[in-house]
Amino acid sequence: MKSIYLLLGLFLLSCTTQSQQSPAEDIPKTKRQQLREKLREGKEILLIYPSGKTVYSNLLEKITESSRYYKVRSVTDKEISEQDLKENIVFILGTPSTNSAFQYYLDKQPFLLEEHQFSFDKTTFSKKGDIARLQNYPNPLNPELPFSFIVGQDDATIAAYLRSKYQTNFRGILWSGWGYEIVQEGKTVMLGNFDSNTYEIDYNSQFNFTEKTTVLGSSEHFDFHGHNLKLSKEVTAKLIETCESNFQKAHTFLGSKKQFPKIQYHLYGSSELKGLMTGNTAHGHIDKQRNEVHTVFGGVFEDNFIDKEYKLLIEQHMGEPSSTFIKEGLAVYFTTQWQKKGWKYWAKRLVESGNVISLKDLGDNKYYESGSNLIQPCLSASFVDFLISKKGKAYVLKEAYTKKWTNEELNDLESDWLAFCKNYETETQARTEIDKPLPYQKGFNFAHEGYQIYNGYGSRKAHESVMRLKQLGANSISIVPYSYMRDVHRPSLIPLIQSAGSENDESTVSSAYFAKQQGIFTLLKPQIWIGRDSWTGEIEMKNDKDWKAFYNYYYRWIRHYAMLAEIHEIDALCVGVEMGKATVGHEDEWRKIFTLLRGIYSGPMTFAANWGEEFEQVSFWDDLDFIGLNCYYPLSKNSKVSKRELKKGFEAVKKKIEKVQSKYKKPLVFTEIGFRSVNGTWIQPHEEAGDKGSNEADQKLCYEVIFEGIEKEDWCYGIYWWKWPSDINDSRKGERRFTPYGTMSMETVGKYFGGE
C-alpha cells in the first residue's frame, strides 16, 4: 500500500498559529446520528497508530479481541494511503509528530493540534498528561464517514491512559457518546457534544470542570480535593480528623513499618459528577497507580461511609491475597459506618433472616466478583472479625490473608461463624416509619432512557424530569433498573449491572433520593431484559434441576435490590415483572423468595403480573402487600371506535381485575399501563409501533378512558403509566412512543393528577 510520509508535517505544525480552531466551512456536514449509523453498519474501522511505537502493541490486540460490534484493522501510519483515509472509518492514536496521518486533519476539525500542546474552546492544554479525544466527526476527506482520534503529548502517556481507563472494557476506546473529551491527570475536565447539523460546540451539553477543583485540606496521610463541592470549615475539619484518625488505627492494626506516599482523596458532590470526571459512578473507588481515593460525599450518601482508603492501604501493605473475600472483608472491617448502620448490623440481619451466603461461596473468587457489593462485603467483614476473635490478629494478617482456603476448611467454620454473627450487640429491627398506610399512587414508570451518565438516572437532567412530573401532579415514580438473560430456557447468572451510564446502584438510589426529597413515593421495580424478540413471560426451564438453578440465580439477583431498597429506605419494592411461565404453577418457589426478602426489606412488596393468564391465575397474592398489574388488555378490536365503546371495553377488563382483587382482598396498583401515540393504540397496547401512523388523539382518548374508569374504584390504589424518560429532551422521544411527554395526553395527565 502506498505509504504516507510526513513531508509537510512539521511545516504544517509550525503554521497552525491560530488561537482556536473552528469547523471548516467548506466541508459539507453529515448529521451526527448518520455518522453513528455508519459504525453500526459494520464497516471496517481503520485504527492507525504510529510506526515504531511498541507501547500500543498489547493494547491493539485487546481492542481487536473485545470489538464484537466492529471490524477493526490496526495499521501503522506508514502502511496507509490517502485513499484508505477516504474509504474507511478512521481512528487515529498518537501525537501529530509521531503519527503522520494527523497531517490530513490539522486544520479541518475543532482542535488546534501543535507539537507540545493542543487548544480547544479558547483553552490551551500543555501539561504532559493532557489527553484529547474527538469522536465521530465528519472526515474532511469524506464527510459521509466519521473519523476520531485520541491525542496527547507522547505515546507512552496515551497508551497508559487507555489501559487505565478501559482496563475492563477495551471496546469503549472505539465508541463514546461524547463528541469530545479532555483529560488531565487521569480525570476528565471537559466533555460535550457538537450540534448535530452545524458541528459548532453545543454548550447546553458541555461539562467544564477545569476550574471547579479546590484543595480542601491536608493531614499526615491525606491531601483532600473537592470537585464542585462546597463544605463548611467545620465539616471539612471533621472529615479530615476522622479520616486521619481511622487511618492511623488501621495502619497500627496492620503493623506496617512502611512509609507510604500521601493518599490523594477526591470528593465529589454527586455520582454524576464523579462519573463524568472519572468514568466511574460508584460510591467510591481507588486508583492504585495514582494512589487516589474517589468518593461521593453527602446527599444520598449522607452518613454512609465505605472508606475505600482502607482497601488502598491493605493492598499497598499486604499485596494481593489468594481469596478476594479476606481482602474485601478486612477493608470493610475498619469501616464503622459502612452503609449507614455498619457492617455488623447488616451481617447479623442477613444471618438471622436466612439470607446469608455460605463461606464456601464467599471464598469462591468467581462467585464473589459476580455477586452483590452490598451482601458480600459485610459478611466477609464479619468472617474476618470472627477469625480475629477465634485465632487472633496475627493469624489473619499472616496466614488467613495469604492462604488459599479450601471448601472443607470453610465448611468446618460455618456454624461457629453464624453463631458469632447472631451474637453481635446491634439492633436489627425493621425501620418503623414503613408502617404508614399505602398511599394512592399517581405516577409513571421512570425510564432510564439517556443511557449515559449525564442524562440517565442520577443526573441533573433526571432531576429536572422528576420535577416536571411533580408539576403534573404525580406523587409517585417507579424506578426500573434492568439486567438481562440471554436464553429463556437455560438458567444463568443474572448480572448486577454497575457500569457507568447504566441503571447502576448509585444512579438508581440518587434518583430515588431526589424524588423522596420532593415528597414523591418511590417504587423500586427491577426488571430483566430478554433480547432477540423474546421476553420474560417466555422464561421456561426444561427440567427440575434447571428450574431450581433459575430460582437460585433470580433470588441472588433480587436479594441485592431488597438490600439496596432497605439501606436507602425506598418506599416499596416490586420483586418480579411479567414471568407467567415461571410464576403460574410455581407459587411455592416465589413464596420462599418473598419470605426471605422480607427478612431484609421492611417496606411493602408487590409483583407486577402480566395482563391475562399470569395476573388472573397466579395465587401468591396473599403473601404480598398489594397486587401489581401490568395492564395491556385490548380495549377494542376495531380501528375506529367511540369513547363509549372504549369505556365498555375497559369495563370488561375491570371485571377481570375485580375478580382477582375480591378473592385476595388486597389493594391493586397498575404497576404498568400505557398506550403509544399511534392509530388504534387500544387494539394491542403492548405492541411495537411498526408501520402504524402517528396519532396523539388516539393515545389521549385511551388516557381519558382509563382515568375516568378508575376514578371511583375503591380497589384501585394507584397507577404507574408506561413511561416517562429520565431526559425529557431526549431526541429519541419523538412520535409514536409510549411517553405522553410533548403530546396531547400531557394535558389529560395534569387534569387527573391535579397538576399543570
**CB 312, CB 266: distance < 8 Å:** no
Nearest alpha-carbon partner for 675 in 615, 576, 745 = 745
* Separation CA 511–CA 523 (nearest Å): 11
pLDDT value of residue 21: 53
Highest mean pLDDT (candidates 38-47, 420-429, 650-659): 650-659
**CB 51, CB 144: distance < 8 Å:** no
Indicate whether 522 pLDDT > 80.
yes
Cell 464527510 belongs to residue: 143
* Separation CA 666–CA 485 (nearest Å): 31
Nearest alpha-carbon partner for 667 in 399, 375, 438 = 438
* Separation CA 101–CA 474 (nearest Å): 55
Work out the average pLDDT over 434-455.
89
Cell 492494626 belongs to residue: 253
Number of C-beta neighbours around residue 111 at 10 A: 22
* Separation CA 562–CA 255 (nearest Å): 38
Helix (H, G, I), strand (E, B) or coil at 2: coil
CATH 3.20.20.80 segments of the chain:
440-753
Lowest mean pLDDT among 20-29, 408-417, 578-587: 20-29
pLDDT value of residue 19: 37
Return the DSSP state at 260: P
**What does the pLDDT look like over 193-248, one tens digit per residue?**
998 888 999 988 889 888 777 899 999 999 999 998 888 999 999 999 999 998 89
- Which residues, at least 6 apart from 585, have a Cβ–Cβ distance to it below 8 Å? none
pLDDT value of residue 197: 84
Burial per residue of 644-676, b for 16 or more beta-carbon CB atoms within 10 angstroms, e otherwise: eebbebbeebbebbeebbeebebbbbbbbbbbb
Q: What is the 3-state secondary structure (H, E, C) of 424-465?
A: CCCCCCCCHHHHCCCCCEEEEEEECCCCCCCCCCCCHHHHHH
pLDDT value of residue 733: 52
Indicate whether 10 pLDDT > 50.
no
DSSP 585-625: T-HHHHHHHHHHHHTT--S-EEEEEETTHHHHH---GGGSS
Work out the average pLDDT over 98-117.
91
Indicate whether 633 pLDDT > 70.
yes
pLDDT category at 307 given cuts 50, 70, 90 is confident
pLDDT value of residue 61: 83
pLDDT value of residue 112: 94
Burial per residue of 619-642, b for 16 or more beta-carbon CB atoms within 10 angstroms, e otherwise: ebbebbbbbbbbbbbebbeeeebe
What is the 3-state composition of the chain as percent helix, strand, coil, each rounded to the nearest 5? 40, 20, 40
Work out the average pLDDT over 317-334.
93
Cell 418473598 belongs to residue: 594
pLDDT value of residue 513: 97
Indicate whether 69 pLDDT > 80.
no
pLDDT value of residue 734: 58
Indicate whether 166 pLDDT > 90.
no
Tell me if the pTM is above 0.85. yes
pLDDT value of residue 174: 82
Work out the average pLDDT over 704-712.
97
Q: What are phi and psi of 547, to 5 degrees?
A: -60, -45
First to last CA, the chain: 65
Work out the average pLDDT over 85-108.
92
CA distances to 223, 225, 496, 689 from 453, in Å: 27, 22, 17, 28
If one looks up domain 213-422 in CATH, what number appears? 1.10.390
* Separation CA 707–CA 359 (nearest Å): 52
Indicate whether 424 pLDDT > 80.
yes
DSSP 38-90: HHHTTPPEEEEE-TT-GGGHHHHHHHHHH-SSS-EEEEEGGG--HHHHHHSEE
Which residues are bridge partners to 205 per DSSP? none
High-pLDDT (> 70) share of the chain, %: 93
| HSE of 59, CA atoms in CB hemisphere, 13 A | 26
* Separation CA 232–CA 213 (nearest Å): 16
CATH 1.10.390 segments of the chain:
213-422
pLDDT category at 180 given cuts 50, 70, 90 is very high
Cell 411455592 belongs to residue: 588
pLDDT value of residue 65: 78
Work out the average pLDDT over 444-473.
94
**What does the pLDDT look like over 346-379, one tens digit per residue?**
999 999 999 999 999 999 999 999 999 999 999 9
What cell does 536 get? 420474560
* Topology of the domain comprising 440-753: TIM Barrel (3.20.20)
Helix (H, G, I), strand (E, B) or coil at 268: strand
Indicate whether 15 pLDDT > 60.
no
* Separation CA 296–CA 92 (nearest Å): 34
Task: Report the chain's mean pLDDT, rounded to a whole number.
Answer: 90
pLDDT value of residue 27: 56
What cell does 330 get? 478486612
CA distances to 62, 77, 91 from 54, in Å: 14, 13, 18
